[in-house]
Each structure stands twice: as C-alpha cells, then as structure tokens.
Structure 1
Amino acid sequence: MLKSLLAIALVASAAPAVAQDRTIPVNIVVDASKPGAPVNPIWRFFGADEPNYATMKDGRTTLATLGQLMPDHVYFRTHNLFTSGDGTAAFKWGSTNIYTEDAAGHPVYNWTIIDHIFDTYHARHVKPYVELGFMPEALSTHPEPYQHDFRPGSGALRTGWAYPPKDYGKWENLITAWVAHCVARYGRAEVASWYFETWNEANLPQYYWGGTQDEFFRLHDAAVRGVRRALPEARVGGPDIAGAGDDYMTAFLHHVKTAGTPTDFLSFHAKGKPSFIKDGAGSHVRMGIADQLNAADHEFVQIAAEPAFKNKPIIIGEFDPEGCAACQGPANGYRNGTMYSSYEAAVFPRLMMLAERRGVNLEGAITWAFEFEDQQPFAGFRQLTSGGIDLPVMNAFKLFAKMHGRVVPAASDAEKSLDTVMKEGVRGTPDIGSTAALDANSLTVLLWHYHDDDLPGPDAAAHLTLNGLPSGLAGTRSVEVYRIDRDHANAYAAWLAMGAPLAPTDAERATLLKAAELQPATMPITVAGRHAALTVTVPRQGIVLLRLGH
C-alpha cells in the first residue's frame, strides 16, 4: 500500500515540468478604508466517521490543535454515537453501546463511552455538533448482521445499524435521557450551545438509511421531540443529506413546516470530484472544485425558494473535495501535500460568495477530515494530521484562524470569477486570489495560487497595493509572512525528502514535526499617507498570509 502511494507521489512529481524561469505577474489592491461585514469563520467545523479515534493518542492531539484555532467555538461532528459495540474503532465505524435492553425488553442506558468522547472534546475546548445516530442493535428492525463489512473498495456498508427503530417511543426516550444526562454533566448553557441533528445522508439508501423517506422524517421528528423534552432551548435541525442533486431538501422543508417540527438550522453535504488523469503529458490528479460548489448551490437554491426557511442558519454537514475519507487511490493523491491546502483556500471564499449570491445564511461548513490512528505515515487518507504530525491542510486552517475583524475589499486581477469556477473549474490559467480583513490596527491578507491540475507551474509574483490603512500603522514596519508551499509548513515534502521512512525514528519524527510548523518570516514595509506596497512570491498550490500590525 505504502509503495503504491509513494509511486503515485513520484509519478506526480515527475510530470513534465512547466517553464520555471518566469513568474506570473499579479496585481492585488486592498482597500482597508472600507470595512464590511464581520469575518465569518465558517471553517471552524470538523468531523469524522470514527468517534472513538478522538480519545486515542493522536486523536487527542489533533482535537487539541483544532480547539486552539478558536477555543470554545470549534465544533466536531461524528457518526456512530448511538451504535452498539465495545468502543473499538475501525474504518467508518465506532460505537458507544449507549443502549441495550434487559431480558424483559426494558431499556438499559450506558453513558460511559460517550461521556469519555465528549469529555475529551470539552477538555480541548471543542464543542459537539451532535449527530443522533446510528440505530442501537436492540432497537434495529433488521439487527443482523449488525456491524458493517466495509473495506475501502469493497464490502457491505449498510447493515443493521442503518435501519429504523422497531419502537419510535424507545428511540425518543433514549435521546431525552441522554440529553438530560448531558445537561446534568456539562451544564444547561453549554448543551444549549451545541447543534443537534438526526442521522447522516438519509437520501442515500444504498449506504446510510435502510428505511423510506417517510420513516426518516418520523425518526427525525421523534429525535427533535426527544432533545427538546430534555432541553427546550436546544438548537435542533437537519436533515444532513448528501448533496445528490435531488429534491430531498424541498421535501424535508415541506415536512417540517407541515408537521410543525422545530428547525433552528438546515444542513446538507457538498463534495467535489477529483480524478486521475493519464495522457501524453503523464499522470496527475485533477480536482473537481466546480462539482463541490455546484452541489452546494443546488441545496442553497432549494432553501432560498422557501420564504419560511431562507434566513435559517445553514451548516454544510460535510464539505470536502470528495466523498470517502477512509478510501485511498490515485484520485486521492492530493491529500498529503499542498494541493489540499490550496484547494481549501480557494473554495471557502467561493462558498461564501455563493451563499451571498443566493441570499442564504451560511453559518458553517464541516471539513470531514480528522486522523486515522496507528496507520502508516502519510497513508493517503483524507485527514488533518498523520501520526500526530500536522499536514499542510491543517496549517491552512491555522491561517484562516488568523483572519479577524471585518472583511475589506481585496481585488486580484488573476482571481477567477465565481461563475467561471462553477462552470469550468480552474483549468488553463491558475486562480491567484485574495481575501483580507481589518481588526483594529491590524490588516491581514490571505493569498492563494490554485489550479485543479496537480502539475508544476510558474510562481506568482503578487504585487500588493494597500490603501486606506489606519493612521496608527504609519511609518516603517515589519510584515509577518506565513507560507504553506513546497518548502514551507509541509511535513509531507520533508518525509519524501528523507526517503519516505515507514517507521520514522525519534530524530526523523522531530524533523517532521519541525517541518510541519508555520514559521513566520518578516519583511519591511513603509506606510506613507495611509498607503503601502509590497511584492511577494506565491508558488503554485501555495498559500501566503500577510499580517501588518498586531
């Protein structure tokens, strides 16, 4: 497995070189005199299939890093919180054994494992985005076989855990009892700050739901009643469906409106579609950023069409370049390096543009990536860390977290329009864009240099003109410069350079941890008359963050 993944990396790195003796000139104008809306940190949501990884060594480390991004404002979603089992994690699997029944069929509740998971979040300043699922074995209408037989590329995923309950009253009572327990354990105000939604992708019957649409709506209504019985002010919503190009969202909105089911937020998923290209020029990954944005737009349009729901907060419950974090393969070769981080830098601003265009209230987008415990280094999963070592994509979120205050205009003459990206993706010329924020006397500018094709290309020479700067920034100053590219904040490149060791020594691991760090440099700048200018190099598939002032 490792050899095949390394071969993919080497094939990509050996692709025909594009001339490097030139740069792409880019002009970016930032106007700090026009602060707009507050920065909306929609990126502060994460999740994973496997709940029990959170309590393991690298899971705890990764959660701590997430919590440090924005303490007590980062949320985590996971499957399998109600699944039967002993808490052993596996690909796309986990369990808490929250519910069993005695010989007489009476409910037996057990909070031990789920408390351990949520305590782990709480200690690291991460809050739950609660997915109420899946079905305990004792409640399932089709309990055997119960645990799935999934393997990346084969096996049956939908087994007993995916079916409706044999008793909706017991399902509702379980949820009431558990939420009441959480209120007693964590406090009423804390639990009221969580999100509660039902199940996962019930519009994909081949995977996550073995019942009908009407049965899912009944399941959801019972779940909401169960939450609200224990905590009337709890934040409830749904349906966390896959962005499958159907009208399920419209049907859901009609149902909750007709049934009077409380709905505080709406949720769905949107995924991209990378491919592995083989042609005369060699082999490489090609991303599908257009697919991801169009999937989101399909759901935005349905929500915007319903006046009663148009202003409801929206959480995109999974927002990723493709659909299976636990799956490997050539098309997923973007994950370890800066292809992933630059993609995220390019897609999140477009998602916010799209929400603004449709007039909907986007509150968050969950990156369905975490870590896979005790796997080979850089094994090709969609994850934020590998063996406790931050990947470039984790560093991208660290840069997002540095954007504070209010958004200010930042116009790049090499940034592709939203319509172009949604229609064509990023083909031909690259997308070299920018976003900026002003916080008191601090200006932060984020630059990205992205292309759908993971091929070499010339660097960008970005000339920035900064206008309308606060008077407190006048004079000669230093600009902090943070980079994520082939040579910076990139543990994967360092691992390849040391020969891709399967079991890094302590010294090699220390080197990788150092290579993963964001290490700011400084460059001088002179602010005169509230204006300044500077030029920075942004390599292809790279990100640069500039911060002027503190």
Structure 2
Amino acid sequence: MHRHFQGLALLAVAAALAILAPVFCAERPAAAGAAPSPDSQSAAPVVIQVDAAHPTGPYSPAWNYFGADEPNYVYSKNGEKLLRELAALSPAPVHVRLHNLLTTGDGAASLKWGSTNAYREDADGNPVYDWTITDRIFDAMLDAGVQPLVEVGFMPEALSTHPEPYRHDFPKGDIFTGWSYPPKDYAKWAALVTAWATHLRDRYGVESLNGWLWEVWNEPDINYWHGTPEEYDRLYDVTAQAIRSVLPNALIGGPDSTGPGTGRAAEFLEQFLEHCLRGKNSATGGTGAPLNFISFHPKGSPTEVDGHVRMGIQRQLAAMDRGMKIVASFPEYKHTPIILGESDPEGCGACSVATNPSDVYRNGPLYGVSVAEAEARTYELARKNGVVLKGSVTWALEFEDQPYFAGFRDLATNGVDKPVLNVFRMLGMLTGEWLPTTSSGGLPLDDILNSGVTRAPDVNAIATRSEHEVDVFVWNYHDDDVQVPPANVHLNVDGLRQGRVRVEQFRMDSDHSNSYRAWLDMGSPAAPTPEQQAQLERAGKLETLGTPQNLKIAGGRLPLTFDLPRQGVELVRISWR
C-alpha cells in the first residue's frame, strides 16, 4: 500500500494469461548450483510427517486481519457481502483496519481515497463534528460481525497545517496532500479524538469496544506524515491520552511504520519504542506512553524475469525478521504483541493491470499461495526471534465500480471471490494446538531469508489438532510463476486413535477454487450475464477434491498420497466423533 508498485516491465497479453495456463521444519538442505529442470520436482516424492499425538502448544491465528485505504467501500453492497464472508472464515474474530476515517470529504470513494467529513469548523473556528459517515462504516463492520482495528487518521482539512491541495486524484500527481500534515492545533485534535471516542462508546457500548484495537496514523516514517519523528511521538501521546480519557482500558498501538528492512524505517521504529519507554509524554508530562501492541509493515517486491512474474517474498520476510529483532532488543517489550499492520507481496494494492500488467498474478493462485507461504513463515519468524505474534494484516478488501479481475490486490471482484480468499478459508479451519510437522520438500527459513524461493520450490506444511480433528495445511510455492509438473506428496499422520475417520481434501490451484479461470474460460466478459455471475460466484467458493472418504486407522497412522500443483494449496481434514 505504501509504495507504488513500479518497475515491472509490461508483459504481453499472452504472457499475462500464461500466468494462469506452528512447529514445522525443513529437512531438505539448500539447493546448490543451477536451477533445477522443470521435471526435477517429480523426481522424488515429498514426504510430510505429522505427529498428532504430541501437540507443542496452543495455536492462535494471526491471519485474521484485513484492511484497505477506502473505508466507504465497506458499506457498499459488495463490501457488506465481503465483510460477512470474512466474519464467517473462522470462530476467531476477524479485525478490519481502514485508512481515512477522519479525512475531510463527501464520502465518495475512489482508489486510495475515502472520507467521512467528521470534522469541520464554523466561521468562528469552532469545531463541528458529524459522525454520519463514520457511523455507516462502523455499523457495516459490526453488523457483519467483524471487529474494528481503529486507525486514527487522517488530518481533517480544517486542522491541517498545509490544507491545500487536499483531495488527490490517484494515480495522477502526488497523493500525499493536505491530509498528511500535522495538526495546526493539538488541543483541537485531542478534542476531536475525545469526542469521537465518546460517540463510539455511547453508540456501541463499552463492552463492544473492549474487543477493539486502536492505533495512531499510518506509516509516519514516509510521506503519510509530513512531520518529524518527534512530531509523530507528540501526535501519538496526545491521541492515546484522548482515547484513554474516554476508554481507560483501550488497547492502543503503533507506529505502523514501513517495513524496517531499510535504515530509515528501522531507526524510526527504534526511536518510537524508546519514546514509549523513556521519552517525555507530550500529553501528560510523565515518562513514556501506553503501547499495547507494536506494528510495522513488511512488504515484498515482485519483478519480471524472462517474461514471467517472480515474487519477492525474501524482502517481505527479511523486513519481518528485522522488525522482530528490533522489538526483541527491548527487554521491556518481550511480551508485547506484534501486529504486522500490512503484510503483503508488494506495496500498491490500488494499482492494477491498467498501469502494471504484471499485477495479473493477483487474480489467480500465485497470490493465494504467496499468502500461505508468508503466513506460515511469519509464525516461524516469531518463534525464532522470541516475540509474541498477534496479527498479520492483509491489505486487501474489494474495489467498487472497477472492471472484473483488473489485477487489484483484493479478495473479491464485483462480488466474486478470488482464489486468495479460499486460502484464508483453509487457514480459518486450523484450530486447537500446533502439531510437530516436517517436510522433505521444505526449504530452510534461512535460505529463504537469503535468496527467496527461486532455486527449488517450498513444498511444506503446518498442522493443528483439536478435540475431534486434525488439519494439515500444505502448499507448493515458488517465486517464479512458471509451469512445472506437480509435487507428489506422501502425507503420513501418526498418533491417531484406532477406529474410523473422515478425510476431506480442500484445494486451491489453477483448476480448483479459481474464479479467474472460470472467467477466462467464459471469454472474460466485461459485463457477465446473471447466469454467468452466478457461475462465477460458485467458482469462487472453496472446493473439495472428490467426496469425503471414511477410512479405518491401523497402527495409529493415516497415509495419504496426492499430487499438488505448483502454486497450489491444500487442507486435509481428518475428523472423528
């Protein structure tokens, strides 16, 4: 979201379409030498071992966070539909983070823009609050059953130190306009936040708000904040104090800075943490500031190589690793949760094939499997660094009034679920406790941090167990989106009780749970008929492979063999009564 995804050369249309045509550890050593031939993946089966008898600790989901620049889309027809689908992903609460909740405007959304007109001033400079649009936004979220992660921002026009120009016209010109500046009057800003928190408390009740999270601004280390780091610290202090004056138990965090893979971003995160520990509080005059969670934004960097997309997950994971190391360097924050406020394959969710033809990958399985890889490795990085992982925000919802499958980073297009949403449906099936899991086809984490997934695929798995089921989440990921034979997976689940079990296999790949493939097969209609729309919506749901099997467990082991295509994700559910 924070950096325009530039630098990808234009792909020809044929090439673009060709993109379609816990405790886990890697046992395989790093590949060496030249890249393997396309047939090498089928040379030997990938053996995945799961020990269902010895769980290693409670599983807590982190994938269940989403967000977008455009808050006004959430109360559109398709926006409300998507929010309901997100709420249904899992019993765990789903959190939604939105920009522009205090931005001045008429509520008309466009790419990378939204507004609520919550604050104006009369002719005498007196505040005028109007919660009409913010109420529509929060009503839509709560009615759907998702919980707000309230991002306090951006600067109302009447409070900005540099109000003109104010509304931008993405993708034309500079988007960091008057809304990105500090307040000209911190007392009026504090009064606005206090009034807003009071209104939300009175409208929804303290009990409801107890599940909410609050954060201050977005990416203040770059042009989202035209102020100094010290001015951001002041904004944070004043905002947190205003919220806590109304909601004493509010959970407040920050700084939601960019991925600390660069020196500037790392320095910003470090100075903010130091301020919250030992700095002078601008609002109270005391020492430090409340910090209930720490947030930053790791992003990848896809490129084009030999006419195909090559993902840049190395950069995304390296930024996570650096940020977690920074947090771990403060002993006082050892137990403070981390929320990756935006964790994505690249920076610009509102960019599309109209400006970046390579963004076509976001329509199909590659986006979904990259999420699977990143989410699983995020847990591993948290364990490696000894930090507490609370959430990982996928910066994607949906865009209204845009062409079908335009290559935006979104979860659905015109009411049609994209393949990536089915990966989240499978992640939502994990529950209970982590199970020890190994894969002979898994890459060591350090290899990915050093060189990405470019020499050999990462065929890997994580698994959980609850009272009546074991779920094994398997993926076959490679940075390069090219056609190769599938991986032959031999899954062995040991430690099961004797008796009969039900086995279900859920799949997302080029041929399953893939509405984009269905849209291409029907001729890529710009305006699908009602019958085509219904067909596309069905194609966007999570598919099973065949019918469920009822199998007898012998010796405590369930063996299962299947082929998993490159860029495919599968969840195997083993259940019993």
Q: Does 1:212 align with 2:212?
A: no
The partner residue of 2:328 within 300, 304, 314 is 304
For residues 370 and 51 of structure 2, the distance between their equivalents in structure 1, rounded to whole angstroms, comes to: 25
Q: Does 1:231 align with 2:247?
A: yes
TM-score, scaled relative to structure 2: 0.90
Q: Does 1:266 align with 2:294?
A: yes
Which position in structure 2 is the counterpart of 1:334? 361
The partner residue of 2:139 within 106, 119, 133 is 119
Partner SS state of residue 255, structure 1: helix
Which position in structure 1 is the counterpart of 2:390? 363
For residues 564 and 247 of structure 2, the distance between their equivalents in structure 1, rounded to whole angstroms, comes to: 50
CA deviation string 1:391-437 (max 9, x = no partner): 11000000000001101011110011111111111112211001111
The amino acid of 2:255's aligned partner reads P
For residues 524 and 289 of structure 1, the distance between their equivalents in structure 2, rounded to whole angstroms, comes to: 38
Kindly indicate whether the alpha-carbon contact (under 8 Å) linking 1:274 and 1:332 is maintained by their aligned counterparts in 2: no
1:466 Cα deviation (Å)? 1.3
1:136 Cα deviation (Å)? 0.3
The partner residue of 2:506 within 453, 474, 482 is 482
Kindly indicate whether the alpha-carbon contact (under 8 Å) linking 2:240 and 2:290 is maintained by their aligned counterparts in 1: yes
The amino acid of 1:438's aligned partner reads R
Which position in structure 2 is the counterpart of 1:324? 348
For residues 463 and 72 of structure 1, the distance between their equivalents in structure 2, rounded to whole angstroms, comes to: 31
- Specify whether residues 235 and 455 from structure 1 end up closer, same or farther in structure 2 by C-alpha distance, changes over 3 A only: same
Q: Does 1:515 align with 2:539?
A: yes
1:177 Cα deviation (Å)? 0.8
Kindly indicate whether the alpha-carbon contact (under 8 Å) linking 1:276 and 1:330 is maintained by their aligned counterparts in 2: no
CA deviation string 1:458-506 (max 9, x = no partner): 111111111111x2xx334331110101111000011111111111111
The amino acid of 2:59's aligned partner reads V
CA deviation string 1:54-78 (max 9, x = no partner): 0111111111111111357110001
The partner residue of 1:384 within 392, 408, 411 is 411
1:124-523 equivalences in 2 (<5 Å): 124-151=144-171, 154-205=172-223, 208-244=224-260, 245-246=262-263, 247-258=267-278, 259=280, 260-278=288-306, 283-328=307-352, 329-469=356-496, 471=497, 474-520=498-544, 521=546, 522-523=548-549
Kindly indicate whether the alpha-carbon contact (under 8 Å) linking 1:5 and 1:379 is maintained by their aligned counterparts in 2: no
Kindly indicate whether the alpha-carbon contact (under 8 Å) linking 1:35 and 1:408 is maintained by their aligned counterparts in 2: yes
Partner SS state of residue 393, structure 1: helix
Kindly indicate whether the alpha-carbon contact (under 8 Å) linking 1:285 and 1:330 is maintained by their aligned counterparts in 2: no
CA deviation string 1:70-109 (max 9, x = no partner): 3571100010000000100011100000000111111111
Which position in structure 2 is the counterpart of 1:83? 103
For residues 22 and 144 of structure 1, the distance between their equivalents in structure 2, rounded to whole angstroms, comes to: 60
Bigger Cα displacement from structure 2, 517-526 vs 260-269:
517-526
Q: Which runs of 4+ in 1 moved over 4 A?
A: 3-8, 17-24
1:223 Cα deviation (Å)? 0.5
1:509 Cα deviation (Å)? 1.3
Which position in structure 2 is the counterpart of 1:528? 554
CA deviation string 1:442-468 (max 9, x = no partner): 111111011000000111111111111
Give percent identity, aligned residues only: 46
TM-score, scaled relative to structure 1: 0.94
Bigger Cα displacement from structure 2, 257-266 vs 158-167:
257-266
C-alpha RMSD of the superposition: 1.7
Q: Does 1:538 align with 2:564?
A: yes
For residues 5 and 157 of structure 1, the distance between their equivalents in structure 2, rounded to whole angstroms, comes to: 29
Q: Does 1:27 align with 2:38?
A: no
The amino acid of 2:274's aligned partner reads H
The amino acid of 2:230's aligned partner reads D
Kindly indicate whether the alpha-carbon contact (under 8 Å) linking 2:42 and 2:488 is maintained by their aligned counterparts in 1: no
The amino acid of 1:134's aligned partner reads F
For residues 444 and 417 of structure 2, the distance between their equivalents in structure 1, rounded to whole angstroms, comes to: 31
Bigger Cα displacement from structure 2, 183-192 vs 358-367:
183-192
For residues 426 and 417 of structure 2, the distance between their equivalents in structure 1, rounded to whole angstroms, comes to: 13
- Specify whether residues 265 and 5 from structure 1 end up closer, same or farther in structure 2 by C-alpha distance, changes over 3 A only: farther
CA deviation string 1:142-161 (max 9, x = no partner): 1111112321xx41111111
Gap runs ≥5 in structure 2:
1-9, 22-36, 281-287
1:12 Cα deviation (Å)? 3.4
1:511 Cα deviation (Å)? 1.4
- Specify whether residues 228 and 21 from structure 1 end up closer, same or farther in structure 2 by C-alpha distance, changes over 3 A only: closer
Bigger Cα displacement from structure 2, 457-466 vs 21-30:
21-30
Equivalent residue pairs, number:
535
